Amino acid sequence: MGAVYFYHLTRGPLEATLPVLLGKARAAGWRVAVRGVDEGRMQWLDQKLWTGPDEGFLAHGLAGGDHDADQPILLTCKTQAGNDPACVMSIDGAVVTPEEVAGLERVCILFDGNDPEAVQQARTQWKTLTDAGTSAQYWSEESGRWEKKAEK
């Protein structure tokens, strides 16, 4: 059974935090789906990942191409990712179900701590997932470094 990790972004933006988590997931040997809710936002994120630092290059693709199945990291708005991921990273409130978490190695839910709506949505997701028996951890960067604040 997989686990879900919540990342409360308060200091660094998504485009700075996501590549770090993607690098760790790839180092674990996992294929990753980054799931969002808006195609335009996914295209923006695609550009950010391509223009990141040279030493941190992350091979990836936008869903809908001819080679989705070959992508180590696939950016998508769909529930079913074409690259058979072991890890899903949910951004912008993309939904993840307890059943899905159970079938994956890891789910990461990244949310903007400066957006009250995003914080409330993350709280709802935490409750839904933990009430279903999903193992969960809550991480915050509030102190300037990532610290685990809760585990269930």
> For the domain that residue 44 is a member of, what is the CATH number?
3.40.50.10110
How many structural domains are present in the chain? 1
pLDDT of residue 24: 95
pLDDT of residue 57: 74
Q: Which domain holds residue 107?
A: 3-151
Beta bridge partners of 5: 108, 137
Residue 122's nearest CA partner among 110, 139, 130 is: 110
Give residues with Cβ within 8 angstroms of 79, minimum separation 6: 35, 95, 100
**C-beta of residue 103 within 8 angstroms of C-beta of residue 49:** no
pLDDT of residue 63: 94
Which residue ranges in the chain fall short of pLDDT 50? Answer: none
pLDDT of residue 109: 98
Report the distance separating Cα 68 and Cα 77, nearest Å.
13
pLDDT of residue 56: 65
